[in-house]
Structure formats: structure tokens, C-alpha cells
Amino acid sequence: MNIKDLLFKLSSLDAVGNITAASDFAYGILSKYTTAEKMDNLTVIGFLDGKNDYTLMLDAHIDQIAMVVTDIDENGFLTVGAAGGIDIRTLPSRSVLVHGKKTVPAVFCATPPHLTSGEESFENISEIKLDTSLGSNAKDIISVGDFVTFSGKCGELQNNLVFGRSFDDRAAVTCLLMLAEKLHGKKLPINVAFVLSDSEELGMRGVRTAAFRVNPSEAIAIDVSFGNGIGISDDECGTLSKGGMIGISPALSKEVSNKLIEVAKENEIPYQLEIMSSKTGTNADMISINREGVKTCTLSIPLRNMHSDTEILSLDDLESVCELLYRYIMAGGVLNA
Amino acid sequence: MLNLLEKLCLLDGTSGNEDSVREFIIGEIKGHCDYRVDNLGNIICFKNGKKRSDKRLMLDAHMDEVGLIITAVTSDGFLKFDTVGGMDASVLAFKTVKIGDILGVISSKPIHLLSKEEQKKPQKASALYIDIGASSKEEALSLVSLGDTAIIQSDFTLMGENVKAKAIDDRIGCAVLITLLKEKSEYDYTAVFSTQEEIGTRGAKVATFALNPDFALILEATTAADIAGVSDDKSVCNLGKGPAVSFMDRATAYDRSLYNASLNSGLKVQSKRAVAGGNNAGAVHLSREGVRTLAISLPCRYIHSPSCVANVNDMTDMLALTRYMLNGILSGEIK
């Protein structure tokens, strides 16, 4: 598989609520290389057997930020609620897709200039209406509860950087699928469970049941984290193209953090550190307190413009993350640490 | 005409940088009229009809669109920009742009790193920047130059009876004008595809001086606020109710005889119900000793954003009204 093609394909598909396209596609790939099963809703799990009882769980969430229709008026304008963190200031004039009986394009209203005072305040997403241009027919196609997703396309910038929607967290899904392909047929020192989990954006919900199902000994949550940009200080971001960010936090396992660093150094794989003072805001927070507790770490891909439909990342970082995880597994994780 | 509009909207041409639009239009009108390009880049067209009227009429549509201009490059290789023409900063963040052939993304702090207060405040253009993926100032400057223009990319998408695209203001005017110039005409008339409208109606000013018309029809797009949450008295005009004709805007008090003639045409037409906005009419009607001027505008939601929304039937109604006014004025039926 080509890493860019896979990322772009996963970005083009949706996975939120009852929309399972990205999840179905990932399941198709995962079942080629692992013993795969569909769990609830969107969650997909793939197992590779290392012929022992020590299991490393690798998690990437398959769901994406979205919006949900809460009202439909007579003229085909919709009111929506947020399903995940949406920067409502950036919605005016944005193109989206409404997933009704069929998928239809729509545009968020921008206040016309003669009605703006320049002192606008964005209090609530419900104030910004969505124009379907379907008039009274909107109600035949769209129902309250239908999902709305960004419609942005992927593209390439300089230096192997790419942009697109839902890279949070399809970037990590891409890494795990590439990794599954790479591990396929290899003799493994430990069991590996690939978890593509649901509902991270709604509060790390899907991973709870998935972690219970897998019952891992240790785990790594692969997600995106803030990439460098103007107005973002060095201590709150990683730098694009400098490798995956290994998490260090009171809520994470030092053993796993240290082993990841050791493996990266040994194999000359680029990496950077992400120091957090408490919980991580990723699925790692949930996995680590699964059942009787799991040694857990985060490995993050630096990403600019998080939660927009033009998230930017470096394909080099995806390669680094994939390689680091491969070497880490072949080294047996922290089984014998 | 929809096909033609699609091609026109997908071309990039900010004010002062209308080359690709001009080139395309010349390709379309060649052989259908005489034309020349003036010092400001306007295409000045002479359409020969079967007869010569004793009235000189000029049609105008502007080629330029709103956009961005690169003003500086940071040491990290990010590009700073200003807007060319009126663009609200709220429509800029996280959009894809093209600077020539180079792709970029208008970038900003992600929502997670904003304070609760910042999350409610409108975005300021000064806090935004373009990321082309360059890793240094030197690399960025090897790919783009200061003064290059950037255009937000947007698909041409059908939505019910409406279409969503960038630059409907004023590529619809260009599309109507091209269509008319390709038709056989009863009378001689002149037409201008003008430059620099969005930065102060500058191209039309010099073109009108050159052509010295008695009458002018300005083909435009105007704001339609027939959207949820806006009361009918503030809606200005409505999609699907035909082209809008103006009695007055912030730049022009229009010729009432022309305005009344258009309303009495029997064709689908509506009044623009606000004294808001302005267009080339402001420069045209004050040319030399004055020009009797009417603006015929396509109602357009979210104008000056990358997602203009306009009604497909309004476009053919706009063409019909323009043709009617053109022939009426030149035949002397419209006084």
C-alpha cells in the first residue's frame, strides 16, 4: 500500500455515528493481514497472534468530528449541533455534506455585509444556519439527527506535507494499517491487537469497551497532536517532519515511554517528546485505567490546523511512526523490561 | 450558460491580475465582435449589428474577483497576506488557496489552543497566515514572490436549483455578456469586460471615458440575504425571483426611466430593496457629462466568500432582461 494514497482514501470516507464507510474500508484491509472482527458501531479490532499471553494494544480512533442536524426549517435551512470540537468562527461560507437519505452538499450562511456591525460574537453553533438550497424538499431528504461532515479534499504541499479533513485520526489509522501489512506473516514476540475505536471525539467512549474486550498488558494510543505554527509556542507543539511525539506524563507508563525512546535511538528513527503534566486528552487516559490497569503511552503525529478540514501533516512522520511501532513490537515491547 | 459560468468561476483573477480571465474571454468572443485591450487591461468590444442606433450603449461586466495578496514571509516560511477587495476574515481560516500553481492552506491556531473568550471573537485576518509547506523563508521565496496573489479554491457545485461557486461576482456578468456578444444583434453596441472593480471601480472608469456612451447597463451580482434568521425587510433580494434592478445604492442613484422600464418589461425581475453596496455604475454614471445607467444584478448569497450561492433560473432571466433592455434602448422604445 502507498501511504499517501491510503491516507487520502481514508480521509475521503466518513465514519461517525451510523455512517460506517471509513470503518468498513479499514476492516477490509485489516482482515487481509490480521484476524479481524467488527465490534460495536464503528470499532474494528484486528489480532495478530504471537503465541503467548502478552498482548500489546495499538489504538487509533476511526471516528471524526462532525455536526448533527437539530432543526430543519420550511426554506431548507438547517440548525446543527457540534459532535466534537468545532471552531464555529470558521464555519461561515464553509462547504459541508449532509448525510440524509442521500448525501447532499450545503453551505454555512455568512452574514451579509450590510447586516454586520463588526462586533459579532460567536456564542453558539446553532446561530449559524446551514443552507441546503433544497427549500421545502429538505424535509423529504434530511431528518433531525442526520450527520453533517466537512467536504474538504486532500492535497499536497511542499516537503512531503499534505492537507485534508479527518487526518485526526485517520493519520494514525493509516499508520496502523501500514503496520499490519508489514507485520503480516512475521513471527512476533508478543500478541498485537489493532484497535480502530469509535467515539473518541465524543469523550473517548469507544475505546473503553474495546480495551475491555482486548484486555491488553500494555498499550500505545496513536493520535495527532499540535504541530508548529504562528502564535503557537514551542512548549505546546511538536514540529512537523521531525518524527512521532513520544508522550511523557504522570498518567502514562514511564517504562513504555523509555522503551519507545530506546528503540527509536537504537534504530535511528526520528522522534520528539511530548511532555504533559496530567492526563493526555487521548484514548490513553481510558486504556490505562482499563480493568486492573494497563501500562500505556501515547505516540502522536504532529498536525497543524487540528479539527479543520485542512489539517496538515508530514508523510515522513507517518513513516517514522510506523517504523518505530514495528521495531518496538519486534523488540517485544516492555514484556521483558 | 451554466457551463460557461462554471469555466469562468474556476479561473483565478484578483483585481489587477485578471490575465487568465481575459485570455479565456477573448477566446470566447473572438470572431463575434471587434475588440481591443486598453492600458488597464479592460477588454473593449465593438459589436456590429444590422443597424446603427443614434444612441450609444455600453454594457459592462467586471472580470476581477476578491482574493489575497502575499505581503511578507516569516523566518519559518509561512506567508502573511492582505485581502484584495472586501473579504470578511471569518470566511478565510482553514481554506485552501492557490498561489499560481502552488497550493497552500490558510492556517490559524486550532480551537484547542484558544481561550473560551477567543473562541467567541471573530477571527482577525492579521492572525492568519498561509502554509505552503516551506521549511524556511528562503524556500518559500523560491516558490512564491511578494505581491503574488492567492485565490481560495472552491468547487462549482449544484445544490437543488442553486449553484455554489467562488467568483459568481462577477463572472455571471461576464457569462451574460459573452452570450450576448455571440448572438446576432439588431443594433451596434459596445461592451466592456472591466478590471479592478473590487478595489474601487477603476477599470470601468477609464473604459467609459473611452467609449463615451449615452447609456450603460452594468451586469453584476448583488447580495441576497434571503437566509434563515434574517427578516424579509432586510433580505435585499431573493433567489429565484429573477434579476434585481437597483433604484439606489451607496454609489449611484440610478436612472429611474431605465429602472421603471425594466420593472414594466413583463419579464421576471425584482427590485433590490436596500441602499447598500455599490458597483461599476458609480464610476460609469459620472463619466464625462454623465451616463444614464442601470444595474442588472444576479441575487447572490454569501457574496465575496468562496461559496457564493445563486439560482440557475435567475441567470437565464438576467440574460433575458439584459437583452430586452439592450434592444429597447437602442430601438428608442425605452426612452
Min CA distance, A328 vs chain B (Å)?
30
Of A110, A163, A305, the CB nearest to B305: A110
**Mean pLDDT over residues A34-48, rounded?**
94
- The sign one gets for the Cα dihedral A15, A19, A24, A25 is negative
Query: CA-CA distances (angstroms) from residue B151 to B10, B61, B154?
Result: 10, 20, 9
One domain, residues A128 and A277: no
Of A79, A93, A157, the CB nearest to B306: A93
One domain, residues A180 and A272: yes
Q: What would the pLDDT profile of A45-98 be if each residue is shown by its tens digit? A: 999 999 889 999 999 999 999 999 999 999 999 999 999 889 998 999 999 999
Of B108, B132, B304, the CB nearest to A305: B108
CA angle (A176 as vertex; A261, A239 as ends), nearest 5: 50
Q: What would the pLDDT profile of A165-208 be if each residue is shown by its tens digit? A: 999 999 999 999 999 999 999 999 999 999 999 988 888 888 99
Q: What pLDDT sits at residue A336?
A: 80
One domain, residues A177 and A311: yes
Q: Within a domain: residue A335?
A: no
One domain, residues A269 and A120: no
Is A110 close to B91, i.e. CB distance below 8 A?
yes
Question: What DSSP assignment string belongs to A129-189?
Answer: -EE-S-GGGHHHH--TT-EEEE-PPPEE-STTEEEES-HHHHHHHHHHHHHHHHHTT---S
Whether the Cβ atoms of residue A64 and residue A311 lie closer than 8 Å to each other: no
Query: CA-CA distances (angstroms) from residue A33 to A23, A30, A170, A211, A291?
Result: 16, 5, 18, 21, 28
Q: What pLDDT sits at residue A118?
A: 64
Kindly report the CATH number assigned to the domain that includes residue A137.
2.40.30.40
Contacts of B273 in chain A (CB under 8 A): none
Is A229 close to B129, i.e. CB distance below 8 A?
yes
Among candidate residues A121, A150, A179, the one where a domain is terminated: A150
Q: What would the pLDDT profile of B245-254 be if each residue is shown by its tens digit? A: 999 999 999 9
Min CA distance, B169 vs chain A (Å)?
14
Q: What pLDDT sits at residue B229?
A: 87
SS3 content of chain A, % helix, strand, coil (to 5): 30, 30, 40
One domain, residues A144 and A185: no
The helix-helix angle for B19-29 and B2-9 (nearest 10°) equals: 150
Q: Within a domain: residue A311?
A: yes
Q: What pLDDT sits at residue A115?
A: 76
Q: What is the DSSP letter of B14?
A: B
Is A105 close to B157, i.e. CB distance below 8 A?
yes
Amino acid present at A16: V
One domain, residues A223 and A183: yes
Q: What would the pLDDT profile of B301-319 be if each residue is shown by its tens digit? A: 999 999 999 999 999 999 9
Q: What pLDDT sits at residue B52?
A: 94
Q: What is the CA radius of gyration of chain B?
A: 21
For residue B87, what pLDDT band results from cuts at 50, 70 and 90? confident
Whether the Cβ atoms of residue A174 and residue A5 lie closer than 8 Å to each other: no
Of A73, A157, A306, the CB nearest to B112: A306
Q: Within a domain: residue A299?
A: yes
Share of chain B above pLDDT 90, in %: 91
Residue B243, pLDDT above cutoff 70: yes
Whether the Cβ atoms of residue B169 and residue B303 lie closer than 8 Å to each other: yes
Among candidate residues A150, A175, A210, the one where a domain is terminated: A150
Of B93, B110, B160, the CB nearest to A134: B160
**DSSP three-state, residue A246:** strand
Is A229 close to B109, i.e. CB distance below 8 A?
yes
Q: Which helix (H) or strand (E) holds A66?
A: strand A66-72
Q: What pLDDT sits at residue A40?
A: 78
Q: What is the pTM assigned to this prediction?
A: 0.93
Is A312 close to B143, i.e. CB distance below 8 A?
no
One domain, residues A182 and A99: no
Q: Which residue of A65, A70, A103, A131 is the best one to mutate when testing the B interface, meaning the one whose CB has the most B CBs within 10 A?
A: A131
Q: What pLDDT sits at residue A178?
A: 98
- Classify residue B184 by burial, with Cβ atoms within 10 Å: 0-12, 13-18, 19+: exposed
Find residue B151's DSSP bridge partners: B98
For residue A119, what pLDDT band results from cuts at 50, 70 and 90? low
**Mean pLDDT over residues B207-213, rounded?**
95
Interatomic CA distance for residues A192 and A173, integer angstroms: 15
Place of cell 449589428: B49
Residue A235, pLDDT above cutoff 90: no
Q: Within a domain: residue A156?
A: no
Whether the Cβ atoms of residue A106 and residue A77 lie closer than 8 Å to each other: no
Is A163 close to B96, i.e. CB distance below 8 A?
yes
Active-site residue flag, B197: yes
Contacts of A201 in chain B (CB under 8 A): none
Closest by CA position to B21, among listed B42, B46, B47, B44: B42
Cβ-Cβ contacts under 8 Å for B301 (sequence gap 6 or more): A107, A109, A112, A131, B223, B224, B225, B226, B227, B239, B308, B309, B310
One domain, residues A55 and A184: yes
One domain, residues A141 and A178: no
CA closest to A95 among chain B residues: B307
For residue B90, what pLDDT band results from cuts at 50, 70 and 90? confident
Q: Which residues of B201-215 are buried (b: 16+ CB within 10 A; e: fewer)?
A: bbbbbbbbebbebeb
Min CA distance, B236 vs chain A (Å)?
9
Q: Which residues of B154-167 are buried (b: 16+ CB within 10 A; e: fewer)?
A: bbbbebbebbbbbb
Is A305 close to B127, i.e. CB distance below 8 A?
no
Min CA distance, B121 vs chain A (Å)?
5
**Mean pLDDT over residues B121-138, rounded?**
92
Q: Within a domain: residue A89?
A: yes
Q: Which of B28, B65, B197, B198 is catalytic?
A: B197
Assess whether the previous peptide bond of B88 is cis (omega < 30° from 0): no
One domain, residues A206 and A265: yes
Which domains, ranges and CATH numbers included, belong to chain B? 2-65+166-331 (3.40.630.10), 68-152 (2.40.30.40)
Residue B266, pLDDT above cutoff 90: yes
**Mean pLDDT over residues A223-239, rounded?**
93
Domain encompassing residue A120: 66-150
- Which residue would you say has higher pLDDT here, A239 or A120? A239
Among candidate residues A150, A184, A200, the one where a domain is terminated: A150
Q: What would the pLDDT profile of A263-301 be if each residue is shown by its tens digit? A: 999 999 999 999 999 999 999 999 999 999 999 999 999
Contacts of A77 in chain B (CB under 8 A): 227-228
CA closest to B131 among chain A residues: A157
Contacts of A155 in chain B (CB under 8 A): 96, 103
Q: Which residues of B226-244 are buried (b: 16+ CB within 10 A; e: fewer)?
A: bbbebeeeebbbbbbbbbb
One domain, residues A262 and A304: yes
One domain, residues A216 and A255: yes
Q: Within a domain: residue A233?
A: yes
Interatomic CA distance for residues A142 and B195, integer angstroms: 42
For residue B146, what pLDDT band results from cuts at 50, 70 and 90? very high
Averaged pLDDT of chain A: 94
CA closest to A239 among chain B residues: B135
CA closest to B106 among chain A residues: A310
Q: Within a domain: residue A230?
A: yes
Domain total in chain A: 2
